[in-house]
Structure 1
Amino acid sequence: MTQKERMLAGELYRADDPELSADAARAAAWMARYNGAAGAGAEDRHAMLAEGLGQAGAGAVVRSPFHCDYGCNIHLGERVFLNFGCVILDVVRVEIGAGTQIGPGVQILTADHPRDPALRAEGWEFGRPIRIGANVWIGGGALILPGVTIGDDAIIGAGSVVTRDVARGATVMGNPARPARG
């Protein structure tokens, strides 16, 4: 398996691999163009999203600045909205369902690292996919950690650190995010 195949499979891989470095450089060039086109019309910006991401559903909006690792592993449903300053580390698939609204400064992080310090020191890492359902609202500054699934219609409070799956329709908040009381 190539390092890219290992990465996409969620296995240990080396991000300094030449193929992955070239993919990251392409994504960086795309982000520079996309972020520099903040004043462009909605149709032009959506076309750029479709070019740089794995999927950009109709009406999806991503405000600049936006940052990601590769872009091609990000799949946005229809009418998804990401506000200013979002970061998506997409070493594996990130799926965001239709109508989801994501506040400013949210970080969605699939990248993870071995717990063994020797493996970390050698530069190994891995990823765990994230799935965010439809009609989810994620408040500003929230962090969504590797491997999390958020169910449809859920609400994530601003500044929350989501370390575990969130049930459909649940409201969670805090660090770590826990169900809101009454």
Structure 2
Amino acid sequence: MQTEKNKMIAGKHYKPGDEELVKARVRAHTLAKEYNQLPVEQERTERIKELFGYTGNKLHVEPGLRIDYGFNVSVGEMFYANFDLVLLDTCPIVVGDNAMFGPRVSLVTPEHPLDPVERNSGIEFGRPITIGDNCWIGSDATIIGGVTLGNNVVVGAGSVVTKSFGDNVVIAGNPAGVIKTIEP
């Protein structure tokens, strides 16, 4: 029998009130709160490495981090996130190397059923997010579950990314669309 945690990570319907999931969220919220109050960058880096499922050796996340679980987040080498990063990681969030996130970026994997009876039952599900190498996500951008961004993608400030895009593009808008191709 699958646990609610396994169902959640796999993107299946799960019950977020499950005891194991509640404990995991409390742990992540506690570590994030402690992280946000640490004055020394080295201590914050150590705490992020404890919180995230995987990190490269060099990373920097400004305070103001909000996160659901942490164990579903993987970031590559030279990851940088400005203030107030939101990572709702019911499903995996994978970010490649040399990624830069502006302030108030949100990566949101959980979803709720459209049917009101199902939604009111408390059931949730999610879809993963994958971001390639050398991506720059502008401030106040939101990336929704199920999105994959290729390498060398730039997301304009304030954009809402609801679908996947390949390599070497600048995307912007709500919903985001290609506004420019980046010549390698």
Give the Cα–Cα distance (whole angstroms) in 2 for the partners of residues 153 and 9 of structure 1.
27
Q: Which residue of 2 aligns with 1:36?
A: 37
Q: Which residue of 1 aligns with 2:19?
A: 18
Q: Which residue of 1 aligns with 2:141?
A: 142
Give the Cα–Cα distance (whole angstroms) in 1 for the partners of residues 60 and 75 of structure 2.
9
Q: Which residue of 1 aligns with 2:128?
A: 129
Q: Which residue of 2 aligns with 1:172?
A: 171
Query: In the superposition, relative to structure 1, how do residues 181 and 76 fare at CA in structure 2: closer, same or farther (>3 Å)?
Result: closer
Kept after mapping to 2: 8 A contact 1:103/1:141: yes
Partner amino acid, structure 2, of 1:122 = S
In structure 1, stretches of 5+ residues that fail to align are none
Partner amino acid, structure 2, of 1:118 = V
Listed one character per residue, the Cα deviations across residues 38-65 of structure 1 (whole Å, up to 9, x for unaligned) are: x21x332211111111012111111111
Q: Please, what is the CA RMSD of the aligned residues?
A: 1.0
Q: CA deviation at 1:116?
A: 1.5
Give the Cα–Cα distance (whole angstroms) in 1 for the partners of residues 80 and 111 of structure 2.
25
Listed one character per residue, the Cα deviations across residues 105-133 of structure 1 (whole Å, up to 9, x for unaligned) are: 01000011112111100001001000000
State, as a whole percentage, how many aligned pairs show the same letter: 38
Q: CA deviation at 1:167?
A: 1.3
Partner amino acid, structure 2, of 1:143 = T
Q: Which residue of 1 aligns with 2:117?
A: 118
Alignment size in residue pairs: 180
Q: Which residue of 2 aligns with 1:161?
A: 160
Partner amino acid, structure 2, of 1:34 = Y
Any runs of at least 4 consecutive aligned residues in structure 1 with deviations exceeding 4 A, and if so which? none
Q: CA deviation at 1:157?
A: 0.3
Give the Cα–Cα distance (whole angstroms) in 2 for the partners of residues 63 and 178 of structure 1.
28
1:105 aligns with 2:104: yes
Kept after mapping to 2: 8 A contact 1:76/1:98: yes
5 Å matches for 1:70-81?
70-81=69-80
Q: Which residue of 2 aligns with 1:52?
A: 51
